[in-house]
Amino acid sequence: MSDEPPSSQKQQDRSWLRKLMSSFSTEPTSRAELLTIIKEAADRNLFDQEALHIIEGALEVSDQRVHDILVPRSKMVVVRIEETPEQFLPRIIESGHSRFPVIEESTDNVRGILLAKDLLPLVLKGKENFSLEQMIRPANVIPESKRLNILLREFRENRYHMAMVLDEYGGISGLVTIEDILEEIVGEIEDETDEEDTDSDIRKLENNVFIVKALTPVDDFNEFFSCGFPEDDFDTIGGVVLNAFGHLAKRNESVTIDGYTFTVLYSDSRKLHLLRVSTPLET
Using a cut of 0.85, tell me whether the model's pTM lies above it: no
pLDDT at 243: 92
CA angle 160, 162, 164 (to 5 degrees): 125
Count how many domains the chain has: 3
Please state at what angle helix 49-61 crosses helix 31-43, rounded to 10 degrees.
170
Q: Is the pLDDT of residue 4 over 70?
A: no
Residue 154: the pLDDT is: 93
Rounded to whole angstroms, the Cα distance separating 45 from 281 reads 59
Count each helix (H run) and each strand (E run) in the chain, helices first.
11, 12
pLDDT tens-place string over residues 169-202: 889 999 999 998 888 887 665 554 444 444 468 9
State residue 84's pLDDT score.
Answer: 87
Question: Residue 272 belongs to what domain range?
Answer: 197-278
- 61-105 pLDDT, tens digit per residue, is 888 899 988 999 888 999 999 998 888 888 888 888 899 999 998
Is 233 inside any structural domain?
yes
216 belongs to a structural domain: yes
Check whether residue 49 and residue 100 sit in a common domain: no
Query: CATH number for the domain including 222?
Result: 3.30.465.10
**Confidence check: pLDDT of 38 > 50:** yes
> Cα separation of 37 and 222, whole Å?
55
Q: Determine the Cα–Cα distance for residues 101 and 173; give it in Å rounded to an integer.
A: 13
Do 259 and 151 lie in one domain? The reply is: no
Identify which has the larger pLDDT, 241 or 36: 241
